[in-house]
Amino acid sequence: MTFSDIPKFKLKEYSKAPELSSKTIAHKPVIIVGSGPVGLAAALDLAQKGHEVTILTAFDFIALGSKAICFAKQSLDIFDRLGIGERIIEKGVIWNIGKLFWKDQTNPVFQFDMLPVTNQKNPGFVNIQQYYVEDYLVDALEDMDNVDIRWGHSISDIEVRNDGARLDVDTRDGSYQIDADYVLACDGFRSKIRDSMGLDFEGRIFEDNFLIADIKFKGKAAEQRPSERWFWFDPPFCPGGTALLHKQPDDVWRLDFQLGWDIDREAVLKPENVEPYVKGMLGDDIEFEREWYSVYTFQCRRMNRFVHGPVIFVGDSAHLVSPFGARGANGGLSDAENIAWKLDLVMRGIAPRSLIESYNDERIMGADENIRNSSRSTDFMSPKNEQSLAFRNAVLELSNDYSFARPFINSGRLSTPTPYHDSPLSTVDNDEWDGGPKPGFPCVDAPVNDNEDSNWLLEKLGNDFKLLQFGGKAPESDLDVINIPIDSLAAQRYDAHHGATYLIRPDQVVAARWKEAQADDINGAYQRAIGAA
């Protein structure tokens, strides 16, 4: 298979499968299919937890092109845990502010801050090209002895068996079969595995076209532009449509224009037709070079189930959203983090296999929230009938003069972690709380002020279950205890200034909490959180 039409960021070395010169079929504990950020993050997470990981990817390169660029705080927290967070922050463009413009007005109608709670380690968002994220993940994976990345190995079929799954793999040297206890299908929205298993998506398809122009834009005009998310409704350079501007590393800017449904795709992409849009947005006198132009449409859909026996769908293979809100890659990374710790405990024999079913429950909650938000944003941006157009324009006209209407403006509700309400893994509160993250909610970061090297709470969590003990002494258990002083900002954020104990999952989600914990409480909550209760 060749991918001559795909632009390449970095070539990777194909290697011949040992199975081609062997008569027996190899059996692996876990195979990850796909080399996007989601598959690579899941692979690195499992590898760091000590598992033998095999990655199969049809590509023998890291692809260039216009893909994910906005990585949200919760993804940065995941990258921190995986050890590549600092590289991403260093390379990326940090932003917290979003501005909304209307028509030809130069002053924003509205602006918002993505990090309303300050004093956290990571910013609200970092913009960085997807290929850098992939490159850093691959670098970390290549450093590990228990990881086998097979570039240029594409799946042609899958057979689900009683004890796992058997994959048919095509390479330039021939085809082979390989077995696995578990397969993580991280092979994107055109997932070969999903097709081979006769599975499909359910939901809405939006008939609208958007032009993406990734351009190199340097000089004074570029330097004067702040790193903020700028969004336009009905601007003169894209009448009746919307437009979006983001800054990326290496002087690359992402420009996005809504074109409507009836367009000639080939004509739109011609440089002479893209140029008026670019200059309309950034100014007639600017100079720029094309990095990559593309036209996209989108869908807001998901699979009915993400877990199919030993085959688990993760990221775009399981669900699709519109790009407004940065919920694609960020949602996928949350999937990867969720399945990684569960599969780890199941493969180590600590948790029952049924724990994997909770991935289905929790990440369907995540996908539904992302689909709901991104569908609503799309309906605001592209009203589907005269009445919704009237409401949309009424909101914008009022917002220009009155603050009360501004929160109705929806240019994409940006990705935040999904709370797992009523998760089967959570233990319901028994005590009265005045705040702090509830069971099923993600941990909030805070400075710990304990004079150790790492001053951030989230840096102390992750990779395994932890007990957060605020003041006092934690009851006897086998879990790692993190002691936090009760006069810290962390204790305030966890409503723990009079003492408290939190049980935290490996994905930094609260499993249970007590004002005065007993050893039995902790053990019961832990058993429930690993699916054993």
393 binds another protein (CB under 8 A): yes
- Rounded to an integer, what distance in angstroms lies between the CA atom of residue 343 and that of residue 269? 44
Smallest gap from residue 284 Cβ to another protein (A): 33
Q: What binding mask, one character per residue, do residues 336-375 give for another protein by CB under 8 A, x or -?
A: ----------------------------------------
What does residue 124 show for φ and ψ, rounded to 5 degrees?
Answer: -60, -45
From 151-159, 174-182, 294-302, 383-391, span contacting another protein (CB under 8 A): 383-391
- Rounded to an integer, what distance in angstroms lies between the CA atom of residue 233 and that of residue 242? 5
Q: Is-contact 41 63, C-beta < 8 A?
A: no
- Rounded to an integer, what distance in angstroms lies between the CA atom of residue 390 and that of residue 410? 15
Q: How far apart are the first and last CA of the chain?
A: 48
Smallest gap from residue 274 Cβ to another protein (A): 32
386 binds another protein (CB under 8 A): yes
Q: State which H helix or E strand residue 266 sits in.
A: helix 265-268
Handedness of CA 22, 28, 33, 37 (dihedral sign): negative
398 binds another protein (CB under 8 A): yes
From 163-171, 270-278, 316-324, 395-403, span contacting another protein (CB under 8 A): 395-403
Count of residues in the chain:
533
Q: Which residues contact 239 (CB under 8 A, 6 or more apart)?
A: none
379 binds another protein (CB under 8 A): no
401 binds another protein (CB under 8 A): no
- Rounded to an integer, what distance in angstroms lies between the CA atom of residue 498 and that of residue 213? 54
Pick one of 106, 224, 387, 451: the residue that binds another protein (CB under 8 A). Answer: 387
239 binds another protein (CB under 8 A): no
Smallest gap from residue 371 Cβ to another protein (A): 22
Smallest gap from residue 408 Cβ to another protein (A): 7
397 binds another protein (CB under 8 A): yes
- Rounded to an integer, what distance in angstroms lies between the CA atom of residue 211 and that of residue 258? 6
By beta-carbon proximity to another protein, the closer residue of 398 and 486 is: 398
By beta-carbon proximity to another protein, the closer residue of 394 and 533 is: 394
What does residue 386 show for φ and ψ, rounded to 5 degrees?
Answer: -60, -40
CA distances from 412 to 112, 244, 274, 370 (A): 12, 11, 24, 11
By beta-carbon proximity to another protein, the closer residue of 2 and 403 is: 403
Smallest gap from residue 390 Cβ to another protein (A): 4
240 binds another protein (CB under 8 A): no
By beta-carbon proximity to another protein, the closer residue of 262 and 401 is: 401
Handedness of CA 51, 52, 57, 62 (dihedral sign): positive
By beta-carbon proximity to another protein, the closer residue of 162 and 403 is: 403
- Rounded to an integer, what distance in angstroms lies between the CA atom of residue 186 and that of residue 34? 5
395 binds another protein (CB under 8 A): yes
400 binds another protein (CB under 8 A): no
Smallest gap from residue 400 Cβ to another protein (A): 12
Q: Is-contact 99 231, C-beta < 8 A?
A: yes
Binding site for another protein (CB under 8 A): 386-387, 390-391, 393-395, 397-398, 402, 404-405, 408
